[in-house]
């Protein structure tokens, strides 16, 4: 049995197939209003392998100037679409945090996309947990400690799984090592959607 760091919760299969399908439709509506784009690494300008967008009052963006939250899509200049009620309800159901989420980062992984180990630390409210929803193809998720170089452990995330980082693991390093192609039929053309809900300001 895999023992996860204190403060990390993995809730396998929390969303059943109809709930996953309804959430995918919600995200398709978000993407129609705020199209997926490819963010860039600070300084180098190297594109990330994932495409992304956001919904909610704020959105997380990455470009040559750095990482930050802002209230508008960096390509279209339009405000981010509202966060779907289903996501707000998930936050209320699973986190127990009194303040609502302000941002939902939408990452789309094709079969070759990866996400290196990183911390979610651009928020000022670090007491609030981070809630992550997996949809589509399975992935190999890696989680470590709060300092780079600490031991890591990996486990598989399936469509409908939830991961919550809070408490002592709110700033844990984490990433996605690989996508397992054709492991889900949820998305017509395959791939994985990851939704990350965050409270940004205290």
Please give the domain boundaries of the chain with CATH numbers for all domains: 8-198 (2.60.120.590)
User: pTM higher than 0.85, yes or no?
Assistant: yes
Q: Where are the beta strands (DSSP E) in 59-111?
A: 59-63, 66-70, 103-109
Of the candidates 41, 75, 47, 44, the one whose C-alpha atom is nearest the C-alpha of residue 59 is: 75
Angstrom distance (rounded) from CA 56 to CA 197:
9
> Which residue is listed with tokens 């395959």?
190
Q: Which residues is 47 bridged to in the sheet? A: 40
Q: Which two tokens stand for residue 50?
A: 């994932």
Q: Which two tokens stand for residue 116?
A: 């290196």
3-state secondary structure of 190: coil
Taking only the tens place, the pLDDT of each residue in 138-174 is: 999 999 999 999 999 999 999 999 999 999 999 999 9
Taking only the tens place, the pLDDT of each residue in 12-70 is: 999 999 999 999 999 999 999 999 999 998 888 889 999 999 999 999 999 999 999 99
Angstrom distance (rounded) from CA 193 to CA 190:
10
Of the candidates 177, 157, 132, the one whose C-alpha atom is nearest the C-alpha of residue 13 is: 157
């Amino acid at each position: 049995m895999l023992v996860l760091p204190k403060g990390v919760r993995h809730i396998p299969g929390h969303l059943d197939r109809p709930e996953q399908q309804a959430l995918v439709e919600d995200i398709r509506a978000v993407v129609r209003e705020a199209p997926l784009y490819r963010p860039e690494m600070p300084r180098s300008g190297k594109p990330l392998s994932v495409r992304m967008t956001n919904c909610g009052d704020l959105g997380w963006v990455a470009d040559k100037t750095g990482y930050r939250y802002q209230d508008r899509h960096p390509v279209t200049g339009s405000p981010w679409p509202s966060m779907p009620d289903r996501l707000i309800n998930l936050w209320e159901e699973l986190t127990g945090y009194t303040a609502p989420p302000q941002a939902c980062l939408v990452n789309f992984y094709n079969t070759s996309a990866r996400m290196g180990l990183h911390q979610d630390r651009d928020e000022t409210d670090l007491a609030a947990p981070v809630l992550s929803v997996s949809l589509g193809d399975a992935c190999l998720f890696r989680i470590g400690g709060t300092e780079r170089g600490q031991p890591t452990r990996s486990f598989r995330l399936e469509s409908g799984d939830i991961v919550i980082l809070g408490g002592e693991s709110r700033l844990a390093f984490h990433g996605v090592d690989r996508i397992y192609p054709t492991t889900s039929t949820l998305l017509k053309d395959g791939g994985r959607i990851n939704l990350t809900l965050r409270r940004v300001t205290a």
